[in-house]
Amino acid sequence: MQPGSSPAVAPFLRTAAAYAWRLLVVGTLVYALFALLGRFHEIGVALFLGLVVTALLRPVADVVARGLPRALAVALTMLGSIALVLGVLALVGEAVANERTTLVREFRDGVERIEQWLERPPFRLNPEALSDVQARIGQFLSSHRSTLVSDAVSGAHHLVAVLATLALALFSAVLFIHSGDRQWAWFREQLPVSVRGRAEVGGRAAWRTFTGYTHGIVLVAATNAVLVGVALWLLGVPLAVPLALLEFAAAFIPLIGSPIALAVAAVVALAAEGPLVAAIVIALIVVIGQIEGHVLHPLVMSWAVRLHPLVVAVSVVAGSIAAGFVGAVVAVPLVSVVWSVHSALRAARETDRETARETERALAEEGPEDGQDPSGPRPPDRS
């Protein structure tokens, strides 16, 4: 090495350094994006819910619009859907109200049966310990009454935020259903001409995957809810309809949602009907999990992106860590959409390369024009 010259750097280190600073820039941008989304997460949730409603109701509105004006068809579709949801909630509320007295008595008796069961072998718990736990719970509620009241009051602010989010989701869904295609065309026209083609390919792939996943997960959730509701009704477990609705909502979190909802049903069955019925409900968790994992998802979700179970599990956990319940729900469709867009763009690039190679091959096979020297034009004679 000559004096004053910089030391030689291995090519591997030079390449690693080049990738390292680029990864730092990308990581900083991703972190800033997630921080921005976290600051305005209500807007993101509202738009996501609007897209879910659009994926579910856009086909219905298209059918109704064949005989009615588009605006009237969208209004009838939205009003009918809202009436259906409110009817289901009213049915659940009526079921809870009718079973409230019986449920309180059964729970009181069920708690006593659980205490007696814990006092017998193999647990042999001291009855005074159980009574002490109940006394401590009552003392905790009494001593922290002001804190609980303040939390309830602060929860009213969260209720306002939830209502505002639902209102924005409903408003955006109406606009998406009515003229979502024109909105997408306007957005695409704002992009540079060089990326409009890729944006069109990626956008179509993303929407196709999102609608397929939404339709599939709703069908899977409805099937699980019907199976759970019928099974709990046959077993005589109280609150079968609300528990079935809980199963429907929990099924939107893949892998872990259904077991959690059925665990709640098992606790209700244990308190109301005893250990035998609770054991049957626990066995139901295994059966429904097998049906969902090996029958429903392979059949129903075949039009959406098929992700490996490990990817689904990691996505759900990462989403729950990042944004709680909402993140767990959004994680899998987000990963599916991203992978679908990546696959569509890669396939488009491969198609373009293949087309370019075929064009070059065709030009080479045509050869030179008639009367032209195959060696090409000769330079002028400068002598």
**Is there a single domain that holds both residue 56 and residue 169?**
yes
Tokens 């994992």, residue? 293
Does residue 381 carry a pLDDT above 90?
Answer: no
**Is there a single domain that holds both residue 235 and residue 164?**
no
**Is there a single domain that holds both residue 271 and residue 307?**
yes
Classify residue 57 as exposed, middle or buried by CB count within 10 Å of its CB (0-12, 13-18, 19+). buried
What pLDDT was estimated at residue 134? 56
Q: What is the distance between the alpha carbons of residues 108 and 101, in angstroms, rounded to a whole number?
A: 11
Does residue 282 carry a pLDDT above 60?
Answer: yes
Q: What is the distance between the alpha carbons of residues 46 and 50, in angstroms, rounded to a whole number?
A: 6
Split at pLDDT 50, 70, 90, the class of 383 is: very low
**Is there a single domain that holds both residue 276 and residue 179?**
no
Residue 232 lies inside a defined structural domain of this protein: yes
**Is there a single domain that holds both residue 273 and residue 344?**
yes
Q: What is the distance between the alpha carbons of residues 264 and 221, in angstroms, rounded to a whole number?
A: 17
Residue 29 lies inside a defined structural domain of this protein: no
Residue 6 lies inside a defined structural domain of this protein: no
* Mean pLDDT in residue range 182-206: 89
Residue 347 lies inside a defined structural domain of this protein: yes
**Is there a single domain that holds both residue 212 and residue 169?**
no
**Is there a single domain that holds both residue 243 and residue 310?**
yes
**Is there a single domain that holds both residue 227 and residue 130?**
no
Q: What is the pTM of this model?
A: 0.73
Does residue 106 carry a pLDDT above 70?
Answer: no
**Is there a single domain that holds both residue 155 and residue 210?**
no
Mean residue pLDDT of the chain comes to: 78
Tokens of 83: 């009436």
The distance between the two most distant Cα atoms of the chain, rounded to a whole number of Å, is 119
Total domains in the fold of the chain: 2
Residue 323 lies inside a defined structural domain of this protein: yes
- Percent above pLDDT 90 for the chain: 12
Among the listed ranges 119-123, 234-238, 263-267, which one has the minimum average pLDDT value? Answer: 119-123
Q: What is the distance between the alpha carbons of residues 325 and 41, in angstroms, rounded to a whole number?
A: 13
Residue 20 lies inside a defined structural domain of this protein: no
The string of pLDDT tens digits covering residues 235-255 is 888 778 888 888 888 888 877
Q: Comparing 339 with 293, which gets the higher pLDDT?
A: 339
* Mean pLDDT in residue range 57-69: 91
- Percent above pLDDT 70 for the chain: 74
Classify residue 304 as exposed, middle or buried by CB count within 10 Å of its CB (0-12, 13-18, 19+). buried
**Is there a single domain that holds both residue 165 and residue 213?**
no
Split at pLDDT 50, 70, 90, the class of 114 is: low
What pLDDT was estimated at residue 111? 65
Among the listed ranges 47-61, 178-192, 209-223, 294-308, which one has the minimum average pLDDT value? Answer: 294-308
**Is there a single domain that holds both residue 299 and residue 337?**
yes
What pLDDT was estimated at residue 7? 63
Please give the residue range of the domain that contains residue 271: 201-360
* Mean pLDDT in residue range 99-119: 66
Residue 311 lies inside a defined structural domain of this protein: yes
**Is there a single domain that holds both residue 110 and residue 254?**
no
What pLDDT was estimated at residue 58? 92
What pLDDT was estimated at residue 72? 93
Does residue 97 carry a pLDDT above 80?
Answer: no
Residue 165 lies inside a defined structural domain of this protein: yes
Q: What is the distance between the alpha carbons of residues 206 and 203, in angstroms, rounded to a whole number?
A: 5
What pLDDT was estimated at residue 266? 83
What pLDDT was estimated at residue 99? 67
**10 in the Ramachandran plot: left (φ > 0), alpha (ψ -120 to 50) or beta?**
beta
The string of pLDDT tens digits covering residues 128-186 is 655 665 566 556 555 655 565 555 555 556 777 788 888 999 999 999 999 888 999 99
